């Protein structure tokens, strides 16, 4: 079902997608979606608010929270929780979602899902668990932090 929504969102523009699911298409929703699409990275709520205020200076934090809650329910955005940090939000771009997190600088980047091979399919088959969403967080040290050996 989640993949069906993603496919529908990719085939429809945002306005049609909102109406299809019984929601109004508001300027605030479009500004927030635009910021998420343009940044193409992981954003905290505060970072997202800063980006949206470039288009809509009167945007409030409560509007960001309410809109992200809706986007999460509709499967339009994902949230990544990292221990000790604020949640990160990003636009959904596919059914798999994996990250690399640096233990030192806390940089967060995407892990190429092809590295995992057919893990998704094997999990479904071997566990008899269906419509899986696989979210993997791998921790280690980024190249910059690894090369900076004074902290080891």
Q: Are strands 97-102 and 88-91 parallel, antiparallel or unpaired?
A: unpaired
CB atoms within 10 A of CB 12: 13
Q: What is the pTM of this model?
A: 0.69
CATH code of the domain covering residue 123: 3.30.1490.190
Q: Tell me the pairing of strands 77-80 and 97-102.
A: unpaired
Report how far residue 147's alpha carbon sits from residue 84's, in angstroms, rounded to the nearest whole number: 24
The tally of domains found in the chain comes to 2
What share of residues in the chain are helix, strand, coil (percent, to 5)? Answer: 50, 15, 35
Q: Single out the residue in 72, 90, 108 at which a domain terminates.
A: 90
Same domain for 120 and 104 = yes
Decide if pLDDT at 34 tops 60.
yes
- Same-domain pairing of 82 and 60: yes
- pLDDT digit string (tens) for 57-68? 999 999 999 999
97-145 residue pLDDT tens: 788 888 888 888 888 878 888 888 888 889 888 877 777 888 899 999 9
> 124 lies in which domain range?
96-151
Q: What is the rounded average pLDDT of the residues 64-89? A: 89
Instruction: Give per-residue pLDDT as tens, 45-54.
Output: 999 999 999 9
Torsion 116-120-125-129 (CA) sign: positive
134/80: higher pLDDT:
80
Instruction: Pinpoint the alpha helices (H) of 100-152.
Output: 119-127, 143-147
Query: Does one domain contain both 86 and 118?
Result: no
Q: What is the CATH number of the domain that holds 79?
A: 1.10.10.10
d(Cα 4, Cα 26) in Å, to the nearest integer? 23
Tokens of 91: 């636009």
Could you tell me if 134 and 69 lie in one domain?
Answer: no
79 and 133 fall within a common domain: no
Listed residues 58, 90, 122: the one ending a domain: 90
């Amino acid at each position: 079902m989640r993949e069906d929504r993603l496919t529908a969102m990719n085939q429809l523009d945002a306005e049609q997608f909102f109406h299809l699911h019984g929601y109004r298409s508001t300027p605030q929703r479009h500004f927030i979606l635009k910021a998420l699409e343009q940044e193409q990275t992981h954003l905290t709520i505060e970072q997202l608010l800063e980006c949206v205020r470039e288009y809509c200076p009167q945007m409030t934090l409560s509007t960001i929270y309410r809109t992200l809650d809706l986007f999460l329910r509709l499967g339009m955005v994902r949230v990544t929780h990292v221990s000790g940090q604020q949640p990160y939000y990003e636009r959904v771009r596919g059914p798999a979602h994996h990250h690399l997190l640096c233990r030192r600088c806390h940089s967060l980047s995407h892990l190429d899902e092809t590295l995992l091979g057919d893990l998704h399919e094997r999990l479904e088959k071997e566990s008899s668990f269906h419509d899986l969403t696989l979210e993997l967080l791998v921790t280690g040290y980024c190249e910059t932090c690894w090369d900076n050996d004074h902290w080891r």
